[in-house]
Amino acid sequence: MNDSGKDFSSPQDTPASTPRPSAFEQWRRKAMLVTGLGVTTDERLEDLRAHQIRECERKTEYLYNYSPVVVFMLKHLKLSGCEVPPSNILCAPCDLTKAGGFTPDPGAVILCAGHFFSQQHMESTITHELMHMYDHCRFKVDWGNLRHHACSEIRANNLSGDCRFTRELRRGFVSFSKQHQACVRRRAIESVSANPACPNEAAAERAVNEVWESCFNDTRPFDEIY
């Protein structure tokens, strides 16, 4: 390296690039991963995870640009001063108990690759997490305050499509009387119970009950329940 900061190494000093595998070798490797012949279990799992993340990223890009409800939420987040670039919606491996999550700082949505059974499921998960982001941005939610957390969970479950009848049917919950409200309440209590600041389920249920009426009826930024 000379004083100008530019590298004038001779061609022989530059390492040769690694040759790309032939089409046959790529096909052979893929066949081995599919059949399990000649590869380890860890290699197969790693290939599966990589495939799930690619599929998650592809579908996320589509929803980011073309889903009416996701585009609507992104627009209102921007209007609230919290624009969400595509890079802030991430696909990653997760445990089997969740489909997504939200991190207040730096304001990112995490989608659990391989955990979605339909595009609508992914759409409602993104919307749910963007609702948390909207509340955090617009109302300065203190996530250690159980009442604050309960309110955002009620709103996210109420407005994202998470509690559609077909979703509840898939979960094994069937009710023909106030099914939507029961779903919103149950899921909000479950989420608040998982808050490290929550001592027990009774405290979570109490927090949800205390804010239920005002938060269930607050549909901002929507005009009505989506």
Are 158 and 200 in the same domain? yes
Q: What is the pLDDT of residues 136-190, one digit of tens each?
A: 999 999 999 999 999 999 999 999 999 988 777 777 777 766 899 999 999 999 9
Are 107 and 145 in the same domain? no
What pLDDT is recorded for position 10? 36
- Tokens 């009426």 correspond to 213
Are 55 and 125 in the same domain? yes
Q: What is the mean pLDDT of residues 23-42?
A: 56
Are 91 and 69 in the same domain? yes
Residue 158 lies in domain: 141-225
Is the per-residue pLDDT at 128 higher than 70?
yes
Question: Which of 140, 157, 178 is the last residue before a domain boundary?
Answer: 140
92 within some domain: yes
Are 131 and 61 in the same domain? yes
Dihedral (CA of 152, 155, 160, 163) sign? positive
Partner residues linked to 103 by β-bridges:
108
32 within some domain: no
Are 136 and 146 in the same domain? no
Question: Which of 140, 163, 189 is the last residue before a domain boundary?
Answer: 140
Active site residue 129: yes
Of 123, 129, 153, 168, the catalytic one is 129
6 within some domain: no
Are 126 and 177 in the same domain? no
11 within some domain: no
What pLDDT is recorded for position 19? 60
Are 107 and 156 in the same domain? no
Question: Which of 109, 140, 171 is the last residue before a domain boundary?
Answer: 140
Are 50 and 135 in the same domain? yes
186 within some domain: yes
Q: Regarding predicted confidence, which is higher, 153 or 15?
A: 153
Are 118 and 97 in the same domain? yes
Q: Regarding predicted confidence, which is higher, 38 or 190?
A: 190
46 within some domain: yes
How far apart CA 208 and CA 188 sit, in angstroms, is 7
Q: Domain count for the chain, please give it.
A: 2
Q: What is the value of pTM for the model shown? A: 0.79
Are 62 and 136 in the same domain? yes
What pLDDT is recorded for position 23? 62
Q: What is the mean pLDDT of residues 187-214?
A: 97
Q: What is the mean pLDDT of residues 207-221?
A: 97
Are 164 and 125 in the same domain? no
Q: Regarding predicted confidence, which is higher, 9 or 103?
A: 103
Q: What is the pLDDT of residues 40-99, one digit of tens each?
A: 777 767 777 888 999 999 999 999 999 999 999 999 999 999 999 999 999 998 876 789
